[in-house]
Amino acid sequence: MSLLEVVDLSAAYGPIQVLHGISLTVDAGEVVVVLGANGAGKTTALRAISGLVAAKGELRFDGVSILGRHPESIAHRGVSHVPQGRGTLAGLTVDENMRLGAYSRRDREGIAADLAEWYDTFPPLAKRRSQTAGTMSGGEQQMLAVARSLMSRPRLLLLDEPSLGLAPLVTKQLFETLATVNRERGIAMLLVEQNAALALELAARGYVLEAGEIVASGTAENLSRDGEIRKAYLGR
């Protein structure tokens, strides 16, 4: 049984159908990437999984249907969505953002230990812990968004374009950290990304989304060898 099972999922914004019955799975501890052009429905797919967008079809997390549940309760089950634009609580401090990441937890010692650990992993955040989050650079805010999600001890991270607006070097460091987190913590990730080269390095498998439908899928290795995908997403 996969950790996340999406079967024939459709979603619409008012009269505009965005997802036309997509199916995908993410196994426990696995990193899966969804590639696709702008407007293909990648963000909508993640928003449907985390409950922000109403959807039809089947949606199961850890064997339990989460279709139609509130985003709050899906978050409590261990799905943590890092939204596009990072969802920084701009007027709160870095530390307050981090503590809100652990909002669904009650174990004080565990939270304190995780806080220390993630500040260790992301030193720039530790340095700015009492700074207002909205005043940080884009790269630092993305770091915060990921670290904050990790504070909830998720079993599945949904990452929406984490590289958006970041300098190449910062993006590279971020992906290295994601790889480490996945390896050491066994946290599964479903990643939506324009930077296909980096994403396929991180992911074990991938799907290609076009106009709301899955048009290709396979192991990251096979996808990066595929001629058309290379042309469309890898630029070579």
Chain residues in the site for other proteins (CB under 8 A) = 50, 52, 70-72, 75-76, 80-81, 83, 87-92, 96, 99-101, 103-104, 148, 152
Query: Toward other proteins, which CB reaches closer, 135 or 219?
Result: 135
CB of 151 to other proteins, least distance (A): 9
User: Look-up: residue for tokens 């064997």?
Assistant: 63
CB of 73 to other proteins, least distance (A): 8
CB of 80 to other proteins, least distance (A): 7
* CA angle in degrees (0–180, nearest 5) for 131-150-176: 90
Query: Toward other proteins, which CB reaches closer, 70 or 225?
Result: 70
CB of 48 to other proteins, least distance (A): 13
Give which of 160, 141, 166 is closest to 88, Cα–Cα. 141
List Cβ neighbours of 142 (8 Å cut-off, separation of 6 or more): 86, 162, 166, 170, 174
Give which of 215, 171, 167, 170 is closest to 191, Cα–Cα. 171
Give which of 198, 184, 148 is closest to 33, Cα–Cα. 198
Cβ-contact 230, 196 below 8 angstroms: no
Give the integer Cα–Cα distance in Å for 224 and 234: 8
Query: Toward other proteins, which CB reaches closer, 2 or 104?
Result: 104
Find how far residue 74's CA is from the centre of its chain: 14
Query: Toward other proteins, which CB reaches closer, 158 or 209?
Result: 158
CB of 15 to other proteins, least distance (A): 17
CB of 89 to other proteins, least distance (A): 4
Cβ-contact 34, 209 below 8 angstroms: yes
Query: Toward other proteins, which CB reaches closer, 72 or 120?
Result: 72
Query: Toward other proteins, which CB reaches closer, 52 or 204?
Result: 52
Query: Toward other proteins, which CB reaches closer, 75 or 220?
Result: 75
CB count in 10 Å sphere of residue 27: 14
Cβ-contact 149, 103 below 8 angstroms: no
CB of 96 to other proteins, least distance (A): 6
Q: How many CA atoms lie within 13 A of 107 on its CB side?
A: 9
Tokens of 23: 């199916």
